Structure formats: structure tokens, C-alpha cells
Amino acid sequence: MAGLEPKFILKEPNRGTHTLIYLFLNWKGKRLKISTSETIIPEYWDKDNQRPISNKKQLRTLAPILQKELSILSIKLDEIDLFVNDLILDLKRDKTVSLDTIQKQVLEFLGRKMIEEVKPVNFIEYFTSVVTRMENGTYLTDKGTKYSPNTIKSYKSNLLLLTDFEKEIGCINIEEIDIDFYNSLLQYCNQIGFRTNTTGSVIKRIKAVLHTAFEEGISKNTIFQSNNFKAVKEKVYNIYLTSEELKKLIDLPLSGTYEKYRDVFLIGCYVAQRYSDYSRISPEHIQTTGNGNKVIDLVQIKTKQRVLIPFLFPELDTLLQKYDYKVPKIVEQPFNRALKKIGELAGIDKEVVLTENIGGETKERLVKKYELITSHTARRTGATNLFLLGYSAIQIMKVTGHTTAESLMDYIKVSLEENADKMATQIETE
């Protein structure tokens, strides 16, 4: 039918992680956008064919499990495409068909329903229902996985905040959430002393729930798409540990749990991976290249990106040998608490100025460096030290799994002095 042209388009085509795949339909000059609920990493998307990559040469470079996932995704999109094209044929005879009719049929095919008339829905009640579905596993992430306990906990905290906020401004209906609501919420968060990034996280979750309500046909409110309804953010002072500070950790006499925690963290520093990846290294991940070099062969949990991590530091092999190449199982929350204590014991106590926006006011305070150490410090430490050793951004990206130089550079925490020294050293050696 002329004018009805189905297309598959990515929500965020430049994103480094999974993004939603949308079905676009043009009907009589109007555009219909429907989420398929399917996701893909843009790197594996063929824009011209509007499908996951199918080139055999490209596929051979990917892990078998990823190849299978892309194949299954292609089949699902083919099924949607077939339905839509059958729908087009059915509509040829009926010139009275509206955009709502088309949307309703497509949503029903995708297993969702559209409410014909939007009725007032209390936002807190709907937010509560989303959290409940998160807990029982009926509401899944974009990747089709269950939400983590920590994520559910953060949404529950958000819910408590909104309940208190509602007492201040009155009943919050979804359709009435607008820029005035946004500005009032910002003021409220400042009044109760929230940091900028804490407020930003609150808004981010509200936007996510509003988006879900829209996709489920509960609401027609699209304020979450507005550039003015943004999750506020300030750059956080993130640290990395120097090679000298890593040596302090290595030389620190420890035993029991603290020794295990220290060792796991150091492994993370030498492989430059996320905690979810460096904490699960086991013997099957240890491989040898064609040139006889030992590497760690991992498919990253978050991005499904395959990385090959060379043994660039002798300390890495020593630490892994200590545990028969199987990183000990630990729990992240007590791990983060312990790392600060271990850092203090190792004398990683350089004072740094921490600038934060709290309650709408910019405040500065001195903190000891060990107070800022977390499980994620390992990844920043690894990336930064590789950079300082002279490895190129491309080389480091192959190890860390970053898909853009911009995202990598956000991890590299080189001070102005260190950068000046590095540049001066390069000139001397040329």
C-alpha cells in the first residue's frame, strides 16, 4: 500500500551498549513509532538491511553465543516484518483505516495492548506496579534479563521519595507530569540536600517509568522525551591508582578475607575490566595465541563484546596462579567497604579536593584517596596505566572493550602534571 513503509531503526545508533529496535511506519503523512522490545548493540547492526549483521566474515570474529543471539534476533524481526506486510495487504481494501487501528494491531501482535482512551492514572500507583513486576520477574531489562536487587532497591528508594514529594504538591497523575513538575522536583531534591547526581538518578528512573507507561499504552505523555526534562549530572572526581600505589597494595602483609579482596582488586587493575568480568575469570578463559602469548579470552557480560587481554604484567600471572587461575568468589558490597580499609592500611592517603553540588550549592572538601576506592577503580586504574605506558587508544580499546575513543578517555584519569611529564618523555625519546 502506497505510503505505508515499515522500517526497523535503532533508538540510539551511536550507543556502545544495547539499544532498543523500533518499528517505524509512515501512514498518510503521519509517522508511527513502536518499540519491538528487542535490543542490539549498534556495532552488530546492518543499517542498510535493517537487520543484525549477516556477513559470514564479520560473524566469524564473534563468540558463538553472540552469533546465535543475532540469528534469533533476525528471525524475530523477520516475523514482525512479515506480519506488517500481511497487514498492508489486508488494509488495501479498507481506505478508512486509521493510524490507531494500525498501532493496535501491531501492538497486539507484539503481545501488548493499547488503551483506547487514556484515563487518569496515579503515577505512584503505576510506579509501584513497575517495581512489583521487577521483583517477580515479569518486567525485564532491555536485554531481556531480570533486574538486579540493587536496581530494584534504588527504584524502591525513588518510590519513597515520590511519596513524600506527593505530600508537598498533591496527587501526581501521569498525564499531568510536565516541566513545572520537573522544576518543583529539582527544588525539592535540593531542599533535602541531594547531590546533583543523586537527583539526576531520580529523574532518570522517573523518565524510564514514564517511557514504559507510554510504550504500554497507559499514557500518552511524552514529556520524558523533552530535552528540558533531563537527568541533571555533574562530573564526578574518579581516581586511579598509580603503579607505586599498586606496589604498596602488593607489599601489604594481609591474610584471610582482606588478602583475598586485595588480590581480586589487583587482578581487576591488571586486566582493566568491569567487576562483573574480572570477578569471574576461570581456567577456561586462559588461552594462547598463535604466537604463543598467553591471553585471557572473555565475552563481557554488559556488552557481549569479546576481548583478549594479554598478560602485560608479571604480577597478573602470579596472582592468578595463586588461585589456580580461578578468581575467588566474593560479594561486591562488602568488597567495596573492605577496599577502603585496605587502601588506608597500604598508606594510599594522598589528600584530594572533592568538589560536589549538594542541595544546589557547590561545596569542596578534602578526602583521603583511599576513601574513593571502589571495585570500579580497578577498570580506571588499568586503562590509565596502559595509557601512561604508551599504548595507543586503539590498543587499549581492544583490551577494555570500549567502542569509541571518547568513552575510553572518560576512563583515563591522567592529571595535568602526569600528561606534561608523558609529553616531555616522548620528546626526549624521539
355 three-state secondary structure: strand
In the 8-state DSSP scheme, what is residue 11?
S
pLDDT digit string, tens, across residues 88-121 = 777 666 666 666 677 778 888 877 655 444 457 8
The span from the CA of 134 to the CA of 155, in Å, is 10
Choice between 15 and 233, residue whose per-residue pLDDT is larger: 233
Radius of gyration of the chain from Cα atoms?
25
pLDDT digit string, tens, across residues 195-242 = 888 999 999 999 999 998 888 878 888 899 888 999 988 776 678 999
Q: Is the dihedral of CA 181, 11, 402, 69 positive or negative?
A: positive
Flag whether pLDDT at 261 surpasses 90. Answer: yes
Give the three cell numbers for residue 77.
524481526
Residue closest to 387 by CA, chosen among 377, 395, 376, 375: 395
**What's the pLDDT score for residue 88?**
72
Reported as a pLDDT band with limits 50, 70 and 90, residue 28 is: low
In the 8-state DSSP scheme, what is residue 404?
S
**What's the pLDDT score for residue 116?**
45
- For the chain, the farthest-separated pair of C-alpha atoms sits apart, in whole angstroms, at 81
Mean pLDDT of 173-200: 90
| 217 class by beta-carbon count within 10 Å (0-12 exposed, 13-18 middle, 19+ buried) | middle
**Number of Cβ within a 10 Å radius of residue 195:** 16
Give long-range contacts, CB 8 A cutoff, 24+ apart: 357-362: 357/195, 357/196, 357/234, 358/193, 358/194, 358/195, 359/190, 359/191, 359/192, 359/193, 359/194, 360/190
Strands 294-299 and 286-288, bridge-based pairing: antiparallel
Residues 6+ apart with CB under 8 A from 267: 278, 281, 316, 319, 320, 327, 378
Flag whether pLDDT at 428 surpasses 80. Answer: no
In the 8-state DSSP scheme, what is residue 302?
T
311 three-state secondary structure: coil
pLDDT digit string, tens, across residues 317-361 = 999 999 999 999 888 778 999 999 999 999 999 988 776 666 666
> Please, what is the Cα angle at 427 between 423 and 429, to 5 degrees?
115
**Cβ(199)–Cβ(186) below 8 Å:** yes
**What's the pLDDT score for residue 342?**
97
Among the ranges 135-144, 188-197, 283-292, 416-425, which has the highest mean pLDDT value? Answer: 283-292
37 three-state secondary structure: strand
Measuring CA to CA, how many Å separate 125 from each of 19, 146, 162? 28, 21, 11
Give the three cell numbers for residue 153.
532497591
Flag whether pLDDT at 415 surpasses 70. Answer: no
| Cα atoms in the 13 Å half-sphere on the side-chain side of 385 | 22
**What's the pLDDT score for residue 359?**
64
